[in-house]
Amino acid sequence: MLFNHPPIAIETAEPVSPFDDPECLYVALPETMSTFVPPSMQDWRHNPKVGTILSALLDGLKAKPVGVESTVIDLTDYDTDTCELIGQILGEGEISILVDRPKRRLIISESVFAGVWRVKLYHDDVLIQESLETGPYPKILAEWLSVDKPQKSLPETFPNNLMNAPALLYEIFAKSRDFAVGSEEVINLTLLPLTPEDMTYLIDSLGLLGMSILSKGYGDCHIRRTGLPYVWWVQYSNSPGKLILNTLEITLLPSVVMAAPEDLEDSASRLATVLSEWFNETN
């Protein structure tokens, strides 16, 4: 789970060429791998609340058009055993989201069923609300995004030791100001000639707004919302954690965060299988 905001990465991984040491021509595979192990049917087949919750999630995943409407299931009033069993059945997927506000914290984790999200809201570090949602991304995340009004001003003057940061900032501020759905864009910083001073100045000028997203795979993708509307840092790292792709995305929400329609359909199929096994065991 993502509990803290890691810093924006500045240095990229060193390139590997055929003339390097042969042992450096590949990235070592992870030595251990976390796998999803569902709980035993014996643990949850006698709890009818589990079947009710899973059925509601399945209905949400199958809603047409796929992924347009979200289904929200409030877990606050459910007993601890039921919530723990649901957590074991759903597991933890690749996406985790952290939003920090004064006195409030929102923690979201995707389950092993893409498009099924577990949402926890804290106030003064006390859990006050817990729910499940279905959809490409959690509806509550969109609500928090709409409430925030990030405001950053383009600097009037720039330090003399910069090379390309000023021109890039003019471009980013213009694209942020003129953004409309359908005009999403990715600025690949890895391909641009930027000095360390340029990168540091970009980070300071754009700022951060207390929202971090982690997408885990063979490598990690770290996503952070900047203090400029619709502008996100999206950084990909390899298995050892070295930065290999550094981008700024101008969009409502980076696509890597969202479950695709085919992902939702696959999750619905797999969840239907789980429910069928539960039904057979309880009858």
CATH number, position 211? 3.30.1370.140
- Does residue 189 sit in the same domain as residue 199? yes
- The whole-number pLDDT of residue 10 equals 78
Predicted confidence (pLDDT) at residue 23 exceeds the cutoff of 70: no
Convert the pLDDT of each residue in 91-103 to its tens digit.
999 999 999 988 9
Residue whose C-alpha is closest to residue 86's, from 63, 59, 117:
117
DSSP secondary structure, 124-187, as one string: TTEEEEEEEEESSS-HHHHHHHHH--------SS--TT-SSHHHHHHHHHHHHHT--TT--EEE
Domain containing 89 equals 35-137+259-282
- Does residue 277 sit in the same domain as residue 218? no
Residue 67 DSSP code? T
Residue 243 lies in a domain: yes
Residue 230 lies in a domain: yes
- Does residue 165 sit in the same domain as residue 247? yes
Position with higher pLDDT, 280 vs 197? 197
- The whole-number pLDDT of residue 219 equals 76
| Number of domains the chain contains | 2
- Does residue 187 sit in the same domain as residue 249? yes
pLDDT category at 247 given cuts 50, 70, 90 is very high
Predicted confidence (pLDDT) at residue 196 exceeds the cutoff of 60: yes
Residue 144 lies in a domain: no
DSSP secondary structure, 193-226, as one string: ---HHHHHHHHHHH-EEEEEEEEESSSEEEEEEE
Could you tell me the pTM of the whole model?
0.84
Predicted confidence (pLDDT) at residue 76 exceeds the cutoff of 70: yes
Average pLDDT over residues 68-88: 88
Residue 83 lies in a domain: yes
Q: What is the mean pLDDT of the chain?
A: 84
- The whole-number pLDDT of residue 232 equals 96
Q: Which helix (DSSP H) or strand (DSSP E) does residue 74 occupy?
A: strand 71-74
Residue 1 lies in a domain: no
End-to-end C-alpha distance for the chain, whole angstroms: 37
Torsion angles phi and psi, residue 109, rounded to 5: -135, 135
Position with higher pLDDT, 64 vs 99? 99
Predicted confidence (pLDDT) at residue 164 exceeds the cutoff of 80: yes
- Does residue 50 sit in the same domain as residue 190? no
Residue 96 lies in a domain: yes
